[in-house]
Structure 1
């Protein structure tokens, strides 16, 4: 969101929560995350979110390694959709050990096997990435060589990730796993999808895989390359609001080229 929308959205959240606490902007991309005291608000433009399914999944995963919502209601005000969650004070110095990370992810996957919510397959998300690369108006800054690399990686690696599938978090990277007094808890369930558990594991730091039970290392390798190609594509898209997104895309593309030629 741009600055005027952030200011307007923050005012809406403060009115909704009814607090005099200062609002602290924690994240800004396609949606913003704002903290007000013990409340964390996730805010998106109306019609540009998957909040209802995210809340339903959080409800079904209650008691699992996920941050709980404070309400099962999507609040719609002044063109924004807002969900409210419990805020946890975390320390950037408090790293989650690989074994603890793997245990949290395995417990999340076990809980998700019993959940019943509609979600796309990983390959559906891959096709979305392919469509953005095929439309040069959506990804105009991508060179021909990089575009070919990304498309080839998306197609070949998505075809390679076979085997058992289940409901996944979709993006359980370190930024979506909080170290809390209650243990590691995942956030941002909106990215849920179906696929092999190795696709989720590909988002975790490399040492985590050694502690995850029965991971297929070949599928994990393909998943890591697939995930990297997808993330690069999102960064090249017109309108992406991740700070330094294009710089990161260029760096990661170089990493992908190295990984696929060795």
Structure 2
């Protein structure tokens, strides 16, 4: 977020938590991107604050979290001291979550795969109206095709992303009709290593598709420990996920930290992933 918007978001999170009876003497920014994640102390609560226009996504995330907690999924839980819903203040959408002190060690690939298998098993126990992964691909493709939204994207790179997004999406959806409920983006940044074990966060990306779409977001070694995974399909999904990631980075209003680095790195990863699939 821009500095002024970040200050407003932090104040909205602090004020809302205080009104709900939580003691907040300080606010620590944990993550600052398209939405901000705050640690509120000393109550030790995590606040996710989304900018104006993102209320539906925040409400969807809270509903996913509520249903998954009921079936024992390995996910971060909503803060039990306040109502499990989204609060709106100054047009910001605010949800409150349990704060988990992260452990410093990396999650071994086998444990990562086990957490993802347990997460998928929990998702099979709930009924949820979630978009298909191709809907998210279509959103990325719209950004690539709209020169006003991605004015700095060079023509040959635009063509690369357009072909990758449309071609891979069509091929994968043809191979895998329908689809199961997925996390959507279970990359290492969305899997916390806690004393309770690995826990998934950022549940607003939940969608339908093949389990390989989820595995494509995890480190490569994880797929080797996931029983029944199609490794060729993982490679194609990984190329698609990098194309989506790259498309978002070229949005005019993208706010990912170190965006210029990730713009170049994203395109490089798309080319490498396509080469690995034999589609370069």
Q: TM-score, normalised by structure 1?
A: 0.95
Residue 100 of structure 2 is matched in structure 1 by 88
**1:47 paired residue among 53, 72, 91:** 53
Separation in 2, partners of 1:258, 1:73: 42
Residue 66 of structure 2 is matched in structure 1 by 59
User: Deviations 1:176-218 (Å, cap 9, x if unpaired)?
Assistant: 0001111100001001111000000100011100101100112
Residue 188 of structure 1 is matched in structure 2 by 202
3-state secondary structure, aligned to 2:49: strand
3-state secondary structure, aligned to 2:224: helix
Q: 1:57, 1:115 within 8 Å by CA — same for their partners in 2?
A: no
User: Deviations 1:114-144 (Å, cap 9, x if unpaired)?
Assistant: 2222111111111111111111111111111
User: Deviations 1:9-39 (Å, cap 9, x if unpaired)?
Assistant: 2122222222243100011111100001320
Paired positions, count = 261
Correspondence 1:1-262 to 2 at 5 A: 1-18=1-18, 19-37=23-41, 38-49=44-55, 50-62=57-69, 63-70=72-79, 71-91=83-103, 93-161=104-172, 162-163=175-176, 165-261=179-275
RMSD: 1.3
Segments ≥4 residues shifted beyond 4 Å = none
Report the more deviating stretch, 147-156 or 47-56.
47-56
Give the drift of 1:44: 1.1
* 5+ residue gaps, structure 1: none
Q: 1:46, 1:76 within 8 Å by CA — same for their partners in 2?
A: no
Q: TM-score, normalised by structure 2?
A: 0.90
